[in-house]
Amino acid sequence: MTLGEKGAMLRSASACCALIAAIVAALFSPATASAAVRAGWSWTHLAEATSPSPRFWESLAYDPTDQGVILFGGENDSPRPTDTWLWRPSGWVQLHPPASPPGRDLAAMAYDPATAQLVLFSGEGCTGYCNDTWIWSDGTWTEAHPANSPSPRDGAVMAYDPHTRQLVMFGGNTPACGVNTSGCADTWVWDGANWSLVDTNGPRVGEGAGVAYDVWTRELVLYGGNNVHDTSTWGWTGSRWLLLNTSGPCGASEGAMAVDIFGEPVWFEGLGCYPEGTPQRTFAWTGSKWTPLRTGTVSPDYRWGSALAFDPPARRDVLFGGNSILEGDVGDTWTLSWSWHA
């Protein structure tokens, strides 16, 4: 093959890739995705042969190294569990790391692609509130010892911001900034070895909020919390939080939030929305407002304190656990998926 022929082939391949990219962009533009998320969704209850024990306020995040969703800790009305689990479409597998963080609930956990670390921070259980940082890697937990750390707290939220290439941690409850009254307003970023404070004037949402990255608006979206059942939605610009909308699904705390297959944040309602036993609703953030998803007649029953994470290879969100007055702690697994033919 001559150089001219090779060049023509490369130009043809490049044009083909550009065409495919254009088609994908057209199919999944913000407007199209916003319309699509209203239908085609379904919750599926998985009958797992083995799974973590019933609990709530556990930490859940996708780890690309393990190619699955990692679960740690939680609360189950007994000594807080210190077990680590891995979920893949084939089911749950308990892992047995040689070292683990102390048991805790309401810890913040997220994967940081910039440092290839699954990071766990804070929670309640370290003879009170924690402010230790742990890294999950190579089948074990390793405690980091940063020079600077946020104050001890529980209920903080954490997510990676691809736009700024930073792992962002925000808020929570701590005695220093108000427990179950106002909450913390500070925002920190993790560089792989140390925490840095970048803002102190965030919204005071308390605990029970959720955060996820919106690929369309290129910002972290924050919703929920137990501060006076606020329905405000906030966006992280990389240096501060901006109010995006004052009307939300329900002024609820202890909901569950993750990104969906369209790259939009999804919110599964939590405590305070409906009478006990009522099926809860699921919403997607469509760039400027929350839109209810049509998930059919099957849905997780009333609960709060569940954990939700998106599994990219499985193309679905995974929900585990929670608590309700009717059932107590629950240990079931659900998946949220979308289909053209649903």
Cite the DSSP H helix spans in the chain: 3-27, 30-36
Amino acid, res. 132 = D
Ranges in the chain, pLDDT < 70: 1-38, 178-181, 227-229, 251-252, 272-279, 341-342
How far is the C-alpha of 112 from the C-alpha of 118, rounded, in Å? Answer: 6
- Nearest alpha-carbon partner for 210 in 163, 172, 262: 172
Domain 40-338 grouped into CATH 3.30.70.20: no
pLDDT at 195: 98
Total number of residues shown for the chain: 342
Measured distance CA(265)–CA(194) in Å, rounded: 28
What does the DSSP 8-state code read for residue 261? T
Q: What is the pLDDT of residue 281?
A: 86
The closest alpha carbon to 97, from 116, 123, 73, belongs to 73
Query: pLDDT value at position 229?
Result: 64
177: closest CA among 103, 139, 217, 227?
Answer: 227
pLDDT on residue 14: 37
| pLDDT at residue number 236 | 98
Whose CA is closest to 232, among 271, 204, 212, 262? 204
For 80, phi and psi rounded to 5 degrees? -55, 130
**What pLDDT was estimated at residue 298?**
87
Report CA 162 to chain centroid distance, whole Å. Answer: 14
Is the distance from CB of 299 to CB of 326 less than 8 angstroms?
no
For the chain, the domains span 40-338
Q: How far apart are CA 297 and CA 318, in angstroms?
A: 18
pLDDT at position 180, please? 56
pLDDT at 165: 95
**What does the alpha-carbon distance between residue 15 and residue 40 come to, in Å, rounded to a whole number?**
32
The span from the CA of 301 to the CA of 266, in Å, is 17
